[in-house]
Amino acid sequence: MTRSWIILGATSSMARAFARSVAERGDRVIVAGRDMADLKAMATDLALRGAASAEAMRFDARDPATFGPIVQKAELEPGEINVAVFVGSMPAQAEIDADPALISGVVADNFTGPVRFLAEIAPLLEARAGGTVVGVSSVAGDRGRISNYTYGAAKAGFATYLSGLRNRLTRAGAHVVTVKPGFVDTSMTWGIEGMFLVASPEKVAADILKAVEKRRNVLYTPGFWWLIMTIIKLVPERIFKKLSI
C-alpha cells in the first residue's frame, strides 16, 4: 500500500528517528518545519534510506499561512495520508512567570498551530477513508505542576483535541494516536536538572511506530509512565499543591 507521512516539527530528534523508520520501509515523506536547510538535508538522507519520495516544506506553528501549501501538497500525494505532529516548545516556567507575553507562543507551538493544521487536513483523511494522525502531547498535560504548568496546560488541550478528533475520524476509518512521552533526551530537555528515567528519542520513535501499527489510542512512552502518572493523578489536591515536582 502507498503511504505518505507529513511530519511536522521534523527537526526534533524523536521526529528524525520516526522519519527514518518510515523511510526505511519505503513510505513517502514530507518533512516540515522552520529550518529549511536542515529539512532539505534530512529529505536527501531519507530518500537514500529508502523513502519512495522525500520533500521538505516550511511549517511554522505561529504562521497559519504556512499550513495551506502543505495540505495542498498532501492532496496530490497518492494513497494513505498520515500526519505526525512533533511540534512543541517549552520555555522555563520561571521565564514565563517573569514575562507572561511568552504564553501566546507556547500555546501556538503546542496547541493552536498543530490543532489548526489538523483541522485543515482532517477532511482529506476522511475523503481517503483511512490514515493515522500521531499527536505528541506529554505526561506534563496530565496534571498541572509548578515546574511547567503553562506548557502542561497547552499539552492537555492538545490531548483533549486529539481525543475528539479520534472520535470524529474513526467514523471515516482513520485513526488518531495520542502520544504522552515522559522524559526524553532531546534538545528540549538539555540542561534541565532533576530528570529521571530518561528515554532515548529512538526508543520513543519505535514505540510510536508500534502504536500506529496496532492502532493504539493513547501511548505512554516508555510504558511505565502510565503507572507513574496514574499515581500522580491520585495524589489529593490538598497534598499535591504543596509538592515541588
**Which residues bind to ligand NAP, rule: CB under 6 A?**
9, 11-14, 33-35, 59-62, 86-90, 109, 136, 138, 181, 183-184, 186-189
The H or E element containing residue 154 is: helix 149-169
Min CB(153)–ligand NAP separation in Å: 13
Min CB(147)–ligand NAP separation in Å: 12
Q: Judged by CB, which is closer to ligand NAP: 130, or 141?
A: 141
Min CB(2)–ligand NAP separation in Å: 26
Min CB(12)–ligand NAP separation in Å: 3
Min CB(25)–ligand NAP separation in Å: 22
Helix, strand, coil distribution of the chain in percent, nearest 5: 55, 15, 30
Residue nearest to ligand NAP (CB): 88
Q: Judged by CB, which is closer to ligand NAP: 129, or 146?
A: 146
CA distances from 42 to 7, 59, 81, 91 (A): 12, 15, 20, 26
Cell numbers at 19, concatenated:
522519519
Contact 4, 81 (CB under 8 A): yes
Q: Judged by CB, which is closer to ligand NAP: 127, or 233?
A: 233
The DSSP code sequence of 5-37 is: EEEETTTSHHHHHHHHHHHHTT-EEEEEES-HH
Q: Judged by CB, which is closer to ligand NAP: 81, or 90?
A: 90
Q: Judged by CB, which is closer to ligand NAP: 9, or 131?
A: 9
Q: Report which DSSP code applies to 198.
A: P
Min CB(66)–ligand NAP separation in Å: 8
Q: Report which DSSP code applies to 183.
A: S
**Interatomic CA distance for residues 215 and 99, integer angstroms:** 41
For residue 66, which of 118, 121, 117, 125 has the smallest C-alpha distance? 117
Spatial CB neighbours of 50, under 8 Å, sequence gap ≥ 6: 23, 24, 25, 26
Min CB(218)–ligand NAP separation in Å: 14
Contact 26, 41 (CB under 8 A): no
Q: Judged by CB, which is closer to ligand NAP: 11, or 150?
A: 11
Q: Judged by CB, which is closer to ligand NAP: 172, or 228?
A: 228
